[in-house]
Structure 1
Amino acid sequence: MSQNLPTAIQIDMRGVAKRYDGQRVLDGISLQIRRSEIACLIGPSGSGKSTLLRTINALTPVDAGSITVAGIEVTAAGLDLLQLRRQVGMVFQNYNLFPHLTVMQNITLAPITVLGEEPEAVRERARELLRQIHLEKKENAYPGQLSGGQQQRVAIARSLAMRPQVMMFDEVTAALDPETVKKVLLTIRDVAASGMTCLIVTHEMSFAREIADTVYFTDGGRIVESGSPERIFAAPQDPRTRRFLERVL
């Protein structure tokens, strides 16, 4: 959990709405996340959590409302997608690594080819990231030679190699066994401890309780309740939050 958070707003969503096939997935979502804040989204499946993340990274267009991230107006006409992707890293449940590339190549591809950075400097940064996630001996391995947890940690390193201001994690432990989950959560904890602004969708309630500065409970495409983890988990105010936590705790 962060201490002495700066007041600058890093993610600002106001009245964001989204429908799929006439069904309302996001229903007037508004939230503000400060620089270096760690925010966790919890809630039942289908409550709009993943869609919310995808709108922030412009992977899903919105029907109404505004989104600003790291000073970039995501919902503005003429959005510079490259600039946005440089500032916002996103890690998915499915690792999405390139199977024909080594770990080192997966991590360095975008900084070299998209950002045009000097290859050796990028490779050195990648080696440091691999040391941080305890996979320094795997730089020449291919994804198929790694466990699921190792692939997920490489996916995190790949996003960090772009040096974003914001990191988003979408149920990154959902497909992993319990022992592997611990290693991935430790990696996310290290990222958060570095001062990175983090928005995390998770079903790991104990992790959310431990790491978050703010917890948002979503249901039916709305933020039903938000607050410190101490308040949300110990004294939820809304009956929907209480019912959900009774089922999962």
Structure 2
Amino acid sequence: MTDYFAQRAYAVRFGWGPTEAAELASPDGCLVVVDVLSFTTAVSVVTQRGGRVLPYRWRDESARAFAVERDAELAVGRRQATVESPWSLSPAALRLAPVPERLVLPSPNGSTISAAAGDGTVVAACLRNAGAVARWIAGQGFGTPSRPLAVIASGERWRDGGLRPCLEDLLGAGAVLAALPGGGFSPEAELAAGAYSATPDVVAAVRACGGGVELVSEGFPGDVDVAVEVDVSEVVPVLTDGAFADANAH
């Protein structure tokens, strides 16, 4: 990727997936990860309840070893949750499960993007906390030429591994951007903010889009219900020492 696509001339940037996250991130800036129907909504639920979330890229045996090393519980796939191990990427299940002090949450999209910021600040956002995240970002002085902001829609994956842009993450990213003070937006960020502002019923759109329909059809309507709770939370999960924790609790 060349500098043509790095949006360097702008203080507020928008992009898709891990590759663009690495390109748009700045060591002096802030990177906001948005994964509405799984990772960042799950992070918002756990951190709102007082837990810490350790992102991890792979859902395999190495994740279990990573959790053991850090004295943390390990989240499993939605269908693999049990009474003994009730933690998964399901926000609805995490709302009901005991709150772990530390939870390893494997995610090939959200966790990978979280690692792309390098030394920069990383925040997890979703529809539940978009307004709170935007207020925190502005209060910290991000979104300026010296402290640029990159908002990254995680997207999903096609069967061949390619990035699949998805409506729910566009709207989640747009919700953060639309709540920010104007100025310094790249055309990409302007478009994402505009998409959110121009959507007459965000909740209905997420329920009816491919990702929402998929979760309902697979038996997880509660996850969609949690994901579309627009601006109900003041939690701002910030990645600190390898774990997301609510910045407001510090």
**What TM-score do you get using the length of structure 2 for normalisation?**
0.29
Q: Structure 1 or 2: larger strand share?
A: 1
Higher relative contact order (CA 8 A, sep 6+): 2
**What TM-score do you get using the length of structure 1 for normalisation?**
0.29
